[in-house]
Amino acid sequence: MDILDGNEPANTIDTEINKSRDYIAQRTAAVTPIEKGGTGQTTAPAALAALGGAARNGLGFTYAVAQLSDHQLGLYYNDAAQRFVIRKTLDGSTVDIPLATDGAYVSKSGDTMTGDLRLPNATPATSGYTVAYLNSDGRVSKGASSERYKQGIVDIDPGELGDIFPDLVSFEMIGGDGARHVGHIAERLAANPDQQPFVVYTNLDGQTVPDSIDFIALLLAQTAQLHQAVDLLAQRVQQLEERAA
């Protein structure tokens, strides 16, 4: 390469410019060895390896990835977002698919959820099923009807249960869709000594307050009481028929 001293005639400037461009083109196409400040290679992965760096694959990772169909799959951890991310190739580029953040999953060995549990694709129960209950501490449990789970079992007279038929009311759910519903109010049952045993309580701001109703127990008691009343009526009818005969 010629070195100019700055005293060349003005009419040679175009010639020198063309020569400079030729030098640049020759330099760009040439492979410069490492000892002269180059990499000695013609591709980026090879240059990285030649300079002592780890070669990167199509996902930009320095380690191996899985191959699924036509896609390469990789997995890395995002420290800032505190979550794992799956990276895959798509149409020649990479796409990152973030997974749930740390702690945003339910452990098979038992866990506590701080949000709603949604199972939109749950299948219908078809065999060996039972009801599920939500304990006051939030635990979900199956129904327990076996005497293995009970103690102090005592027979009761349904007639001695008193007034166990609460007044029906119509209402709308707060935050609901505006539809009218028919049912009972837990606070009203709690105010009736006969109905109070069927009330489910919860702790709210340090106070124990009515929260729900044990409808299964209430319906069982009501059915037993009605059955007893019907049985007594049947006995009276039979006695009247016998007298009339």
Write out pLDDT tens, residues 107-133: 778 888 777 888 888 888 888 888 888
Residues 135-154: pLDDT tens digits? Answer: 878 888 988 899 999 999 99
Residue 150 is which amino acid? K
pLDDT at 113: 78
pLDDT at 65: 58
Could you tell me if 225 and 158 are in contact, meaning their C-beta atoms sit under 8 angstroms apart?
yes
- Give me the residue spans of the domains in the chain: 10-51, 64-98, 133-233
Query: Nearest 5°: CA angle at 55, between 50 and 57?
Result: 150
Residue tagged 């005592």 (tokens): 154
pLDDT at 173: 95
- What is the SS3 string spanning 100-146? EECCCCCCCCCCCCCCCCCCCCCCCCCCCCCCEEECCCCCEEECCCC
Low-confidence stretches of the chain (pLDDT < 50) are none
Element housing 71 (H / E): strand 71-78
The radius of gyration of the chain from alpha carbons, rounded to an integer in Å, stands at 41
pLDDT at 149: 93
For residue 18, what are the contacts with CB-CB under 8 A and spacing of at least 6? none
Element housing 226 (H / E): helix 215-244
Q: Is the pTM of this model over 0.75?
A: no
* Residue 15, helix vs strand vs coil: helix
